[in-house]
Amino acid sequence: MTRIKNIIIAIALLAGFSSQALAASTSGVTNVAVSVPEFIILHYYSGITLNFDTPAAEAIDEGNSGVEADWNGSTSGNGLDAGSLMNASLELDGTKTNVKLNNVWAVRGFSKSGDAKIEVTVPSGTLQNGSSEITMSDVKVSDDAQSGKSITTKLNGISKGRATTGNIEMDLDFSNTTLSGSHTGGQCTITATTL
């Protein structure tokens, strides 16, 4: 029995040594590279309607005036002159209203520098309602750090949650506005370019 036991142990040891002697192993290193293309996504609104709040109607007391009258119904004397009227709560004479449209564009993507150039142009700066006009001027883009006709901003990769958002700023001139209601026809174009 011991002899059989010794034979079994010897066979087991030989089997173990022979399988190790026959096994071979080697390894190699694979270098991995990924080529990421330049890619940019611009999010924007194709239409924006500015709804200005309605100012309260006002009655402005311009004081008293002495008026000469004759028996035929003709009058003369002090009358209201447009150049000397008292101010109302809303005055737009000769001034432009600066408007900042917050978060109206966003950009994301990949570029060699990680940046993009955002620029704005104005193909049509006049909004009309018949003969009534509102003029857009000094239109700029901004990202809260800078503002101008053209700015350089971060892309922050492709993730929606990391997109850079930005604004449009403009001056509106109401000096030739004579009608209420919708004034249309103004356009600005935002262009995003990888850098």
Question: In the 3-class helix/strand/coil scheme, how is 60-86 assigned residue by residue?
Answer: CCCCCCCEEECCCCCEEECCCCHHHCC
Q: Is the pLDDT of residue 145 over 80?
A: yes
Total tally of structural domains belonging to the chain: 1
Residue 149 resides in a domain: yes
Q: Is the pLDDT of residue 13 over 70?
A: no
Confidence of residue 133 (pLDDT cuts 50, 70, 90): very high
Q: 133 is in which domain, residue-wise?
A: 39-51+88-194
pLDDT higher for 39 or 75?
39
Q: Is the pLDDT of residue 79 over 80?
A: no
Share of the chain above pLDDT 70, in %: 87
Residue 180 resides in a domain: yes
For 7, the enclosing helix (H) or strand (E) is helix 2-22
Q: Is the pLDDT of residue 37 over 90?
A: yes
Contact 43, 106 (CB under 8 A): yes
Residue 173 resides in a domain: yes
Contact 140, 147 (CB under 8 A): yes
Nearest CA to 114 out of 188, 64, 40 is that of 40
pLDDT for res 1 = 63
Contact 134, 52 (CB under 8 A): no
Contact 134, 125 (CB under 8 A): no
Residue 82 resides in a domain: no
The angle formed by the CA atoms of residues 126, 131 and 135, to the nearest 5 degrees, is 20
Residue 80 resides in a domain: no
- Number of other residues whose CB lies within 10 A of the CB of residue 118: 24
Mean pLDDT of 26-36: 95
Residue 94, φ and ψ in degrees, nearest 5: 65, 15
Share of the chain above pLDDT 90, in %: 65
- Which pTM was predicted? 0.74
pLDDT for res 52 = 84
Residue 92 resides in a domain: yes
Q: What is the CATH number of the domain that holds 147?
A: 2.60.40
pLDDT for res 21 = 56
In 9-24, which positions are buried (b, 16+ CB within 10 angstroms) versus exposed (e)? eeeeeeeeeeeeeeee
Residue 22 resides in a domain: no
* SS3 (DSSP) at 161: helix
- Look at the chain and count its residues: 195
* SS3 (DSSP) at 15: helix
Mean pLDDT of 85-104: 82
Q: Which segment of 10-19, 67-76, 182-191 scores lowest on mean pLDDT? A: 10-19
